[in-house]
Chain A
Amino acid sequence: MIQFQNVVKTYPNGVQALKGVSLEVEQGDFVAIIGLSGAGKSTLLRSINQMHTITEGKLLVNGVDVSSLKGKELRRFRRDIGMVFQSFNLVKRTSVIKNVLAARVADMPLWMSLMGLYTKKNKIIALEALDQVGILEKAYTRADQLSGGQQQRVALARCLAQQPKIILADEPVASLDPVTSNQVMNDFVKINKELNITVIANMHHVDIALKFAKRVIGIKEGKIIFDGPSTKVNNQILKEIYGRELSDDELMEH
């Protein structure tokens, strides 16, 4: 379970990205976070795995006070939390399998990771992760030879190879076309259901968020202004989150 208790994040330049956020996410939940760019979505997501440190309040993940973690403990803690990014963040010049194996490095002794020695067990974990997202046959292709959708699947496989309990997805389909977006979101739903992994995703497209997530959190200027099941989201709520009505072409599907 993830618990935010009055979390505040102020950046060194004085910008306050989170202004007292409180929320709870149960294991196995599928949460979409929506809001304008700059509303604090990315900061909220990155504070969970301490890629950003919070300045005030408390953030507990399975009872562990996240901001107290440092060095080795923090790295150990991050092992349980996978992350997927808008721009995939793959090493484009190497093979798909090497990209996925990278997720195993944190568990390996330094000398083995420097030598690039992956055990058979790790290779099987990586290949099975690729199989789960349906691109096993691309294992030995270079990452930059794949389409955007396939690259995001590789990134998802890398995340799975980490064997996480929570997946944080930062705009996972924002750089993909609508059809591919749906396919990738279906992968997330499948993983969420079959492996009971918590998924928290920042979503750019409202309709995709409403279609796939069980729960929606709307934030505006660093504050949560809606938190509830996706079925309860109506035009009035969207107007509050975005500050105006959304036009039809801002919703990709109807």
Chain B
Amino acid sequence: MERIKRLFLPKPITLSNGKVIQPKMSPAIYVVPILTFMTLYSIQLTGFKLATLFRRGYQFFVILDGMIPPNFAYFEKVWEPLLATIMMSILGTVIGSLLALPAAYISSENMMKSKFVKFITKAFLSVVRTFPILVLALLFRIIFGIGAFAGTMAIGIFTFTIMTKMFYELIDTADMGPFEALMSSGASRIQAFWVAIMPQLWGQYFSLVLYNFEMNIRNAAILGYVGAGGIGLILNERLGWRVYPDVGLILLVMMITVYMIESLSRTIRKKLL
């Protein structure tokens, strides 16, 4: 073993005064072979073929060409699912953010004294967080039926888990001085939290809410693919029928909507912080 190791070791460097120093072995010696093997295996497993990429890749531009010009008359059919998508995101974000407040309180190190409660809530949240939003939507479609309600619930639960984690980390770093003052005045822990900790964090809280809302608009657009309502539903259908001018309009409208909401949200968030 030692002999093999020595084979890969770089040559020792001798200084002019006779001192010898042994450079370390580069990690590339084992990292490169492992990465190469994994890449080759992935190519085989996924059926990735460069030939196909060259033979069929141009189709992308055919579709793109088909989308231009978009069919503006189709907007009549688009605005309703678009509105549903936005409303799903708003409602889901509101539900998730509201639920996140008490959940973050009981997950935070400085507010919650019971280690048991903290452990249970944090464990529960990490389990739920492992579900991608599409999986949640699939589950809720079975529970609540096809439509925007399932999508709203998926967004709500997804936002809840993310908001809770982001927000309890903020609570952990809040200034505890005012909290101590409130406790010494005879307030309960919840009252002290609400009056001494939350006023420090409202700006950051609403900024997080808006950030999640931005994310949810994009999420909501795709939820239609699993039957959870919104604009994804007609996008799936039009693509299936290969009516590219309609697809073009849907994508254009989505782009404009997401861009407008993101710029608006960014402007507000700058004011909040």
Contact = CB atoms under 8 A, between A and B. Distances in A.
Interface string B155-191: 0000000000000000000010110111111111011
A105 B200 CA distance: 17
Contacts of A172: none
A250 B191 CA distance: 41
Contact of A89 (B180, B190, B195, B199): B180
Q: SS class of chain B's interface: helix, strand, loop or mixed?
A: helix
A130 interface: no
Interface residues of B, number: 21
A68 B192 CA distance: 23
A48 B188 CA distance: 18
Given A75-B188, A114-B194, A93 B199 contact: yes
A88 B184 CA distance: 13
B148 interface: no
Contacts of A108: 191
A89 B187 contact: no
B196 interface: yes
Interface string A63-86: 000000000001111110111010
A235 interface: no
Contacts of A79: 185-186
Contacts of A89: 177-178, 180-181
Interface residues of A, number: 33
Query: How would you classify the secondary structure of chain A's contact residues: helix, strand, loop or mixed?
Result: mixed
A85 B184 CA distance: 11
B185 A162 contact: yes
Contacts of B192: 105
A87 interface: yes
Nearest to B202: A93
Contacts of B200: 91-93
10 contacts: A49-B184, A75-B186, A76-B186, A92-B175, A93-B200, A102-B182, A102-B185, A105-B192, A105-B195, A113-B191
The 10 A-B pairs with the shortest beta carbon distances in the complex, nearest first, are A89-B177, A78-B186, A106-B186, A89-B181, A83-B184, A106-B187, A79-B186, A75-B186, A94-B199, A91-B178
